Structure 1
């Protein structure tokens, strides 16, 4: 009975989600019809034309290299953000003095748009992937730090006291209690970081590189291939949706297993 109810709830969510996407497509089509009155080329942005162009680009493998390049940059940026953010978050969450001394500085840096660092990143790292990795990592590290620190502060003190009474070493406490206890918060931070990275990625890839989905958008603009441009925008949305869904499922799997 429980499985039937769960299936019904899942099916209802899927239907509602599909209805929302269908409504979005209908509004898209209506918007194009309205724009055609003033812009003759608006028909190139219609859902039918866009999906046709997307199918052609995928079949001809014109987007394969650009997509894989963008996903590689996401992976590198997220990895760097996690390698920096998790230890910093653990330290801040464990020390009230460190939290008080860093909170103002971190909040100040977090409020600076990552894209504003683009000229400085190019000046320091040059043209290529290095400045993109820096910008993506800078954008993604803050949710990882904040969520990890919040997870540490929410740990049950009784578990830490029990470990201390059993003469557990700091390494054992970290690996057996702290990391498992904050992993849910870390995954939440990672999910938020993926969303931020995916948003920042496209303008970063318009920064002196010759591959990536952001670069392909500039290329379609220069070629006046507006249906292809819209197709890439749809692909970016779809890939971002799938990345967020994967992070959400990973979080749900961890929380349900605990």
Structure 2
């Protein structure tokens, strides 16, 4: 079937809008690279400043990405992030459903949750190490603690925003509590859960690097300490760039998931 002009118009407009956003994004990155280049002496720096220059850093990044050992550090960090997010989801979604559905529970627990939420996850580091020791367990606890609050609060908000007519209709059809939960409540709050998950990814990814300085022997945080001890400054900054790139990709994946679930 031949595509009409009216059908092609919206598609063409969407492609042009995407291309415009892409060019603007590349322009912003180019400006950032130019500022970095100027800050390190415009290619004329000597000594330590030269090691932080774009050319040396990007060359180190390319070399790191070819090393199997560095890939192992990346995989270890990604595994910890995914486990921490899974733990945050496992705790945040049920608690959010409970807080959002029951006013008395909300009144009883919200002050405590707000108090705990305002404590920096990193401030728990000494306590967690004393209680859980070193290794993966304290890192996972810190990541889950950092990521649970956006999921919990957004889930609770989603429950409160549900159309009460949906609940009334389900009850009029003699739906059980399980059917009400799985066929009305959960589908209605998935968008809010995904919003909370995206916020959690950003927080967890920021907490990851300092958390991986708790006596572990692998991960991007550990690798940054290792580069500092070896005085490999270009590798250190290259690792920082890789962390930024991976975080950008994780956030892009979360945004795609949101658009897939609730397209504009």
TM-score (norm 2): 0.94
- Provide the rounded CA distance (Å) in 1 between the counterparts of 2:148 and 2:227: 32
- Provide the rounded CA distance (Å) in 2 between the counterparts of 1:106 and 1:194: 19
Q: How do residues 1-258 of structure 1 correspond to structure 2 at under 5 angstroms?
A: 1-33=9-41, 40-256=47-263
Q: 8 Å contact 1:190–1:247 — kept in the other structure?
A: yes
Structure 1 residue runs of 4+, over 4 Å off? 34-37
Deviations 1:101-133 (A, max 9, x none): 111111110000000000111111111000000
Q: 8 Å contact 1:32–1:43 — kept in the other structure?
A: yes
TM-score (norm 1): 0.97
Deviations 1:188-208 (A, max 9, x none): 000011100000000001110
Deviations 1:31-90 (A, max 9, x none): 1117977x7311111111111001111112231110000000000000000000000000
Query: Over aligned residue pairs, what C-alpha RMSD do you find?
Result: 1.4
SS of residue in 2 equivalent to 1:33: coil
Q: 8 Å contact 2:134–2:215 — kept in the other structure?
A: yes
Q: 8 Å contact 2:213–2:225 — kept in the other structure?
A: yes
Say which is worse superposed, 56-65 or 217-226, in terms of deviation: 56-65
Structure 1: stretches of 5+ with no match in the other structure: none
